[in-house]
Structure 1
């Protein structure tokens, strides 16, 4: 699926990628491993992690964990950070969201989505912070969304938009707090990317793909590797002057 073309742009880096059992997290994990990083993949889906390992190879180390369990998140990060004395790259790709129109969304659905978009990033980042500081060149790569910039016509994504908008603000603040410690923080804002979750959504809503495609300048749905190549760059020494940035990878959909 992905050709690293013999490159080793992340050789020797210690990377932690959450949500590595599926979708964009899986794509980043496979790409990072191909680029020479030692990749710890965190997910609550053990079967998904094993599937990623079969693709990523020996550089991928799976860890099954519920990242919304504060103590469990702290423990798994402490295990990794202590083993290596540092964490060089943190990619909090894990996310969970519920979609409903505002007049149909319960408070419980709202809170679960914000936990699945924001808390899940906060907890792992706070736990990893001392080990990112120990690296001296730590890189945090968060995931916002096209929905953090524009509303998506026909999508009941209120809570998702709020969560991903929060990721934009969180990332800028992390960049400021991390700069004195050599930590950079950036975000990627994907458009429509073909993952297990979006494939199910498109099957349920026959018009969704067509509406999304109308906004794209590049007339195809994105792939996880489209995102992973950008994440490799943000995790490498090629981007050492880049922090507090948000990069849209959406086929031009949010440009007009």
Structure 2
């Protein structure tokens, strides 16, 4: 778990054991902080977890964390934007267990640059790493879930898909994550006949290892990051993971097509959020 920078902050928590007992859950982007957190949480909840990432080194860290907690997670190096890689990964999980109950589309990548400076190469790669990484694994699990007449697909978008932000260079990221939100709505409709539930989580300001350095050393960034939520703290990967656990579980069987902002109240604010100063 990413430890809170302020030890007085309370993070999301609650009963876990048995909530995904016997389910087969697939998680992309499992080498990153959020993907690692949800992979371990799903395993603690009783799921057979198949975790993937394109980065072998960070995926090994996820595997080591699970092993240290006496949890078993199947880890594979997979390019989720590749139809071949995604299909082979899903087929292997299905061959082992004969079912796929949960797909957690967490994998993503992004180029940040002001629109005037963004190259077409950066734009196209961001769209591939924001949308193809959702499309390919979903395409692979869809016929399996349709045949078994059940399944939960959880897509990770972003507050950037809902709100504009000054000074962060998010044009490509906003387009990609806005696309994830729109795709979630459409797939929820098409999947409803097969009881495939498709929901979306849009994280707000979430602290992770990649941000801790700049947060500690850049007062302007720290002020921006901390001022966006209505609640007194920014978010952590575990806050997102517990939301994913709810969507993956049978507790949410009548919920589909939802884009849930997990952002401490950022998107509920009226008017300008980011300072012009």
User: Superposed, which structure 2 residues align to 1:95-114 within 5 Å?
Assistant: 95-114=108-127
Partner of 1:32: 42
Q: Distance in 1 between matches of 2:119 and 2:78?
A: 27
Partner of 2:63: 53
Q: Structure 1 stretch 72-81 or stretch 223-232: which is displaced more?
A: 72-81
The reply on whether 1:91 has 2:118 as its aligned counterpart is no
The reply on whether 1:213 has 2:218 as its aligned counterpart is no
Q: Distance in 2 between matches of 1:105 and 1:245?
A: 31
Q: Is the 8 A contact 1:17 1:92 kept in 2?
A: yes
Q: Distance in 1 between matches of 2:16 and 2:40?
A: 14
User: Superposed, which structure 2 residues align to 1:120-135 within 5 Å?
Assistant: 120-135=133-148
Q: Is the 8 A contact 1:37 1:59 kept in 2?
A: no
Partner of residue 75 from structure 1, selected from 53, 70, 88: 88
Taking a change above 3 Å as real, the CA distance of residues 138 and 154 of structure 1, as seen in their structure-2 partners, is: same
Partner of residue 9 from structure 1, selected from 10, 14, 19: 19
Partner of 2:128: 115
Q: Where has structure 1 moved over 6 Å in runs of 4 or more? A: none
Q: Is the 8 A contact 2:28 2:53 kept in 1?
A: yes
Bigger Cα Rg: 2
Q: Distance in 2 between matches of 1:93 and 1:49?
A: 13
In the alignment, structure 1 segments of 5+ residues that lack a partner are none
Taking a change above 3 Å as real, the CA distance of residues 6 and 81 of structure 1, as seen in their structure-2 partners, is: closer
Q: Structure 1 stretch 82-91 or stretch 52-61: which is displaced more?
A: 52-61
How far does residue 203 in structure 1 lie from its aligned partner after superposition?
Answer: 6.3
Q: Is the 8 A contact 2:13 2:242 kept in 1?
A: no
Partner of 1:155: 168
User: Superposed, which structure 2 residues align to 1:100-249 within 5 Å?
Assistant: 100-199=113-212, 202=215, 206-249=219-262
Partner of 1:23: 33
Cα RMSD for the two superposed structures: 1.8
Q: Distance in 2 between matches of 1:94 and 1:195?
A: 15
Q: Distance in 2 between matches of 1:142 and 1:176?
A: 15
In the comparison of the two structures, how many residue pairs are matched?
A: 256
In the alignment, structure 2 segments of 5+ residues that lack a partner are 2-11, 270-277
The DSSP-based 3-state class of the residue aligned with 2:267 is coil
Q: Is the 8 A contact 1:184 1:244 kept in 2?
A: yes
